C-alpha cells in the first residue's frame, strides 16, 4: 500500500506561488563621464568614476595598446559632447544676448 496522494492545487494557487518568478526590469543610470549605462550607486566599470570623482584608475590596469585605444575613445566622446576638457572661453555678452531668456 502506497502513501496518501497530495491534494491538487488550483490554478490560482499555482499562479500565486509563481508570481514571484517573473523577471524584473533593471533600472540603469548613465555615467557622467563616459555616458555608459551603470547600475545606480555603483562605480562605472568602464571609466572607474563615481559621482564625478575617479575611484578606480582603470587605465593603470590596461596594457599600452588598450590604454591608447581607450584614451582615443574618450577624446572622441568628449568631442561629440562638446566638452573640451579645460575651462571654457568666456565670451562677451552684448545687451541683445542678455535680454534673451
Question: Mind listing the pLDDT tens digit for each residue in 82-91?
Answer: 765 555 555 6
DSSP-derived 3-state class of residue 49: strand
Contacts of residue 59, defined as CB under 8 A and 6 or more positions apart, other chains included, come to: 67, 70, 71
Q: Going by DSSP bridges, is the β-strand pair 49-50/37-38 parallel, antiparallel, or unpaired?
A: unpaired
Residue 67: what pLDDT?
Answer: 80
- The mean pLDDT of 54-74, rounded to a whole number, is 82
- Reported pTM: 0.49
The pLDDT of residue 64 is above 90: no
Amino acid at each position: 500500500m502506497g502513501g496518501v496522494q497530495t491534494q491538487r492545487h488550483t490554478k490560482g494557487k499555482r499562479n500565486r506561488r509563481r508570481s514571484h518568478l517573473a523577471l524584473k526590469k533593471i533600472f540603469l543610470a548613465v555615467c557622467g563621464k563616459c555616458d555608459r549605462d551603470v547600475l545606480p550607486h555603483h562605480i562605472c566599470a568602464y571609466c572607474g568614476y563615481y559621482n564625478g570623482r575617479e575611484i578606480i584608475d582603470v587605465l593603470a590596469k590596461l596594457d599600452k595598446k588598450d590604454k591608447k585605444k581607450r584614451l582615443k575613445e574618450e577624446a572622441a566622446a568628449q568631442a561629440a559632447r562638446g566638452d573640451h576638457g579645460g575651462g571654457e572661453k568666456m565670451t562677451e555678452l552684448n545687451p541683445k544676448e542678455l535680454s534673451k531668456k
